[in-house]
Chain A
Amino acid sequence: MPKWLPHILLCAYFGGFLLLIAVLAWFRPAAHRDNSQPIAFPHTVHAGRLGLACNFCHESVAHGPQAGMPAVAKCVSCHQAIATERPEIQKLLSYQKKGEPIRWRRIHQLPDFIYFSHKRHVSSGLDCSACHGAIAEMKEVRRVRSLQMGWCLSCHRSRGASFDCATCHK
């Protein structure tokens, strides 16, 4: 056995792991990188400084499973007059001109086999921040809860909510 062989093997072994970490770092969830949304919408201004209620824009949060994203027209109803010279608002207006919806990148993604209803959770008295954190302080929305089953079940158990599989797995 040549003298250098073990060293080379070791280098290859550790190099492989190093590469793995590099790959992990490269492919970390895109939602956690900055500027991933088509328009840099600041919740800090709308929900924070102005203090708009969540359901002013997310209209169906108390009425259906989806909280709902506001239509472009809703944004424009105020922004036809406010801050129209800013580049991000210009982007918004161009969406309206083209008649296209804004393709927001989804941050809170649940698997297809999960049935989740905002209505239920809001009507049980939960605050939005219980699952979404302090959205009003986020310049760009981040996911601050794991949204994993163990977490859902902990809360369901502690609040006496349904524990039946079919409640969420439909």
Chain B
Amino acid sequence: MLPVIQEQLLLIKAMQGVCQTLLCLSLGYLAGEVLLTLPGKALFTPSAPQPPSTDTAQGPKVLTGRRAGLLIALIMACNLLLMKIAYRAALFTGPFWGGLTVLFIIGLALILTARQHLKGAHPAGRLSLAAAVIGDLLLLSICYFLLNAESLLLTPEAWPFLATRPPLLLSWHGTVRFAQFTLLALMLAGLDRRRNRQVLIFGAALLWPLGQILELLLGPELARSPWLYLAAALALMTSAALALMTTGPLLQKRPLPLTPPLAGIIVLAMLWVLGAQTARENTLTGVALAGLQLPPVAGQTPAIPSAPQTAAKPQAAPAIDGGQLFQQKCSVCHRFDQRLVGPPLNTVLGKYRPDKNKLAGFLRNPQKVDPGYPTMPNLNLTEQEADAVAGYLLDRETAQPAPR
């Protein structure tokens, strides 16, 4: 990892969180809004003559046009890139993610064009209807895929097997996350003063706790920490606030003020993204990521041609400092002049004086010599290491003659 990334990791993760929140909000709004507007506009306009067309149900004029599309696509690309930088997930290949982004942009373009038509005064044709439906499906399936990939980040143990078993990508955790995303989308679509859709917000807020609990239960055990539970509880409270906010207007059939629910939904989306990030922080630790590279199965992979090996050989091993190694591995049990766990070294080194290799051999494969002491453990020294330690011991022993 580049040192810059290492230093700014927190910033990168924060940026990724912001990107994901923005993406989730804008996509949720687009997907939900288009789906809800479509039937009324495209299917029923021909039969039912519109009331004065100047005031027909024109949704709020947000996120329309080419610029919004470009912006969303940019955020999406940023999000993917930051995710890759921050978590170094080599889950799929670059072309794969590139293809996904292209599909995403196509879906986005379709939706935006369809919306352009829907906003227009003239009734929408079948073409824009089809564009909206296809675009919406494309976007939603990509979201489903991405959320599953995000969940897959939480289970590093599945990564090595992904290449042979792609279905591992899909998980119940990811599915629940997608359900939560749709709930967010519905809430955003419910923010419509003119058509009194606050029932959508209300219903989605009621369903939210179910998703939250399922997400907690389905997530890996390693991900659970007090912070994760706290994030879940906060999200739950936000959804409660949203539900309480909408009951009054719903029961009295008066329009809903827009700002407080919007703020609530934004907070909810942030907590949703933050929860996933917390889970990732808990799961993707060095201790859990170790050992993911499985050794080749014996007899299955052919031996690698010898060319790279001969190329690697000339790299002489760096000189090993026997003294340092002694301090690190041996000095816990051994002193030169006193008994600790093992015998004082000055009393036993003498017999190895003529043959350094014999000492190195003993260090690599210790045997029980004196019944008065426990057997020395095998410390798994390499040949060079044992040689270096043996050299150090004999040097040191000759340097200060032992009081026998």
Contacts and interface: CB of A to CB of B under 8 A. Distances in A.
Interface string A1-39: 000001100110110011011101100110010000000
Contact of B226 (A7, A25, A50, A77): A25
Contacts of A158: 160-161, 164-165, 294
B287 A81 contact: no
A126 B338 CA distance: 41
A49 B165 contact: no
Contacts of A165: none
B229 A11 contact: no
A81 B373 CA distance: 11
Nearest to A9: B247
A36 to B, nearest CB: 14
B63 to A, nearest CB: 31
Interface stretch (A60-68, A93-101, A111-119, A132-140): A132-140
B291 A53 contact: no
B298 A50 contact: no
A129 B236 contact: no
B224 A142 contact: no
B36 interface: no
Interface residues of B, number: 55
A82 B333 contact: yes
B295 interface: yes
Nearest to A147: B157
A16 to B, nearest CB: 8
Given A146-B220, A154-B165, A133 B294 contact: no
A126 to B, nearest CB: 7
Contact of A155 (B161, B239, B379): B161
Contact of A159 (B165, B216, B294): B294
Given A6-B247, A17-B209, A127-B291, 14 more contacts: A7-B244, A7-B247, A10-B244, A11-B244, A22-B229, A24-B217, A28-B224, A56-B377, A82-B333, A82-B341, A125-B295, A137-B286, A144-B157, A158-B165
Interface of B: 155, 157-158, 160-161, 164-165, 168, 206, 209, 212-213, 216-217, 220-222, 224, 226, 229, 232-233, 236-237, 239-240, 243-244, 247, 251, 285-292, 294-295, 297-298, 300, 328-329, 332-333, 339-341, 374, 377-380
23 contacts: A6-B247, A10-B244, A13-B209, A14-B237, A17-B212, A18-B236, A21-B233, A25-B226, A32-B222, A52-B377, A81-B339, A125-B297, A129-B290, A129-B291, A133-B291, A134-B286, A134-B287, A146-B155, A151-B157, A154-B165, A157-B164, A157-B165, A159-B297
The 6 closest A-B pairs by CB, nearest first: A129-B291, A134-B290, A14-B240, A77-B374, A17-B209, A144-B288
